[in-house]
Structure 1
């Protein structure tokens, strides 16, 4: 075997190895995206339950005096940005940051996703709080809890400043879309006091009950945003790996053609050499 043919075969083996890696990454991303889609209905049902409970609790609050609290000058508004945890997802991490670029310098930023944190640092933007997007859907509620605790700590000093979530969603056939949703304070118009019959009996003061229910609702909203971001990143990675697979298939086909042509050229050269040798021996005989 010639050195040229051996080199082509080594390159083919390398492409096969890369193909196996790409297929594995695509499969893992697909499984994770599916898992996150499966938990979204439960998260939304939980948020709906909290929404109904807040509407009921407002009936109690409407009959109770509302205390006034002086918090002084308000702090900076909060932006909770769900970005990308890892690479190999094409332009997805940059697009998420670009969508919130105008808000980042002015807000108290809670940034989720190690890859987005690194990209923000390259742009000279520092997050006030940063965290990782888990690699398992089972850990997403823990992330929502950490975010909510950090938000509560900040709001205790900053006052009732607006808190906005920015997170990506992935729609089949349409691709990536960035969602901007207000989180806190809750819009009273969105939670009209509702319910028929007697006012529910509670063991907590109306203000405390409502505050706890608001926390539950905020937790549900953060969990939903985290699950959507988790799914979107893995969907983007699947799309990137699919494009890489197409490129690899094209490269492999070209190398296999080169291998056949090289092998054919070597066989032809060998036949010509044998024929020349036979003619030379015939002339001497």
Structure 2
């Protein structure tokens, strides 16, 4: 009986260690999610400055927007899909992969996948050849990752297949239920920018169309950076939820093991009492 008690004690000790690991993973994920949220304000401020500059260019030369516009139905589509790099995020990657593949294939597509686990989920669903890159391991690495994705994007926009449409799919943080968004980056929507006419136009040293093209590229880069940071926060919030569920399961397992230990210990004590009583009675009969 004592051997079984020792085995249960060992399992209880291992479960306590697992609970500590789960708690540490939850704390790390929560800290990373907070860090990502804190960095969003700076990214959005930069995007707002670029948007204000776009509005200024449109104010003194509205025709420059038409020269930058493209027809989305004429070429291929570039699909940027952002998922998770590591596990313990529930069904996050599966949901993102399903959403990315949900629309019918209307034109050739180039896939840009961010996140090793997401790339695996897409491959399991029969996605063809795709460019992929690991997701950032911490928020400070997101701007560098955004630059890599931007380079891959513009390489495909400039290739011979004339990709003219770019979509972006990722998860959103801060939701009680997992929410996946899919939006269009290109064709670029100029209508969202406030255009305030000026009495005197600003002094520029380059052609308005060229200036606007550069500002659009900068704004798209900021949009990518924001999406990556949101996806990073969503990944870590999903991990926090997964760790909370794991902690509940671990504690239930601890309760079960503790009950088994107490019941077995009680059985052992009862057996010892019976053995002592039987031995005493046997000794007394021998003396009589």
Fold shared, TM-score > 0.5 on shorter chain: yes
Say whether residues 1:214 and 2:213 are aligned partners. Answer: no
Distance between the aligned counterparts of 1:49 and 1:127, measured in 2? 37
Deviation of 1:195 (Å): 3.8
The 3 A distance-change label for structure 1 pair 9 and 200 is: same
Deviation of 1:143 (Å): 1.0
The 3 A distance-change label for structure 1 pair 195 and 129 is: farther
Distance between the aligned counterparts of 2:111 and 2:65, measured in 1? 34
Q: Of 141, 166, 169, which aligns to 1:163?
A: 166
Task: Report the 3-state secondary structure (helix = DSSP H, G, I; strand = E; otherwise coil) of the residue aligned with 1:183.
Answer: strand
Q: Where in structure 1 are there 5+ consecutive unaligned residues?
A: none
The 3 A distance-change label for structure 1 pair 82 and 66 is: closer
Q: What RMSD over aligned residues (CA atoms) do the two structures have, in Å?
A: 2.3
CA contact 1:79–1:164 (8 Å) conserved in 2 = yes
Q: Of 179, 187, 201, which aligns to 2:189?
A: 187
Task: Report the 3-state secondary structure (helix = DSSP H, G, I; strand = E; otherwise coil) of the residue aligned with 2:113.
Answer: strand
Q: What do the CA deviations read for 1:201-246 (whole angstroms, capped 9, x no partner)? A: 1122212211111111001100110011001111111101100100
Deviation of 1:66 (Å): 7.4
Deviation of 1:3 (Å): 1.1
The 3 A distance-change label for structure 1 pair 64 and 196 is: same
Q: How many residues align?
A: 283
Say whether residues 1:85 and 2:85 are aligned partners. Answer: yes
The 3 A distance-change label for structure 1 pair 96 and 63 is: closer
The 3 A distance-change label for structure 1 pair 8 and 84 is: same
Task: Report the 3-state secondary structure (helix = DSSP H, G, I; strand = E; otherwise coil) of the residue aligned with 1:175.
Answer: coil
Under a length normalisation based on structure 2, what TM-score does the superposition of the two structures give?
A: 0.91
Q: What do the CA deviations read for 1:252-283 (whole angstroms, capped 9, x no partner)? A: 01101111111111111011101110110000
Distance between the aligned counterparts of 2:212 and 2:181, measured in 1? 27
- Greater alpha carbon shift after TM alignment, 123-132 vs 254-263: 123-132
Counterpart residue number, 1:131: 133
Q: Where in structure 2 are there 5+ consecutive unaligned residues?
A: none
Task: Report the 3-state secondary structure (helix = DSSP H, G, I; strand = E; otherwise coil) of the residue aligned with 1:171.
Answer: coil
Q: What do the CA deviations read for 1:72-121 (whole angstroms, capped 9, x no partner)? A: x9431111111111111111111111111224865211111100101111
Task: Report the 3-state secondary structure (helix = DSSP H, G, I; strand = E; otherwise coil) of the residue aligned with 2:126.
Answer: coil
Deviation of 1:11 (Å): 0.9
Q: What do the CA deviations read for 1:31-85 (whole angstroms, capped 9, x no partner)? A: 11111111111111111111111011123433779769999x9431111111111
Distance between the aligned counterparts of 1:65 and 1:167, measured in 2? 28
Deviation of 1:189 (Å): 2.2
Counterpart residue number, 1:249: 251
Distance between the aligned counterparts of 2:40 and 2:65, measured in 1? 37
Distance between the aligned counterparts of 1:218 and 1:44, measured in 2? 12
CA contact 1:104–1:125 (8 Å) conserved in 2 = no
Distance between the aligned counterparts of 2:222 and 2:197, measured in 1? 22
The 3 A distance-change label for structure 1 pair 141 and 65 is: closer
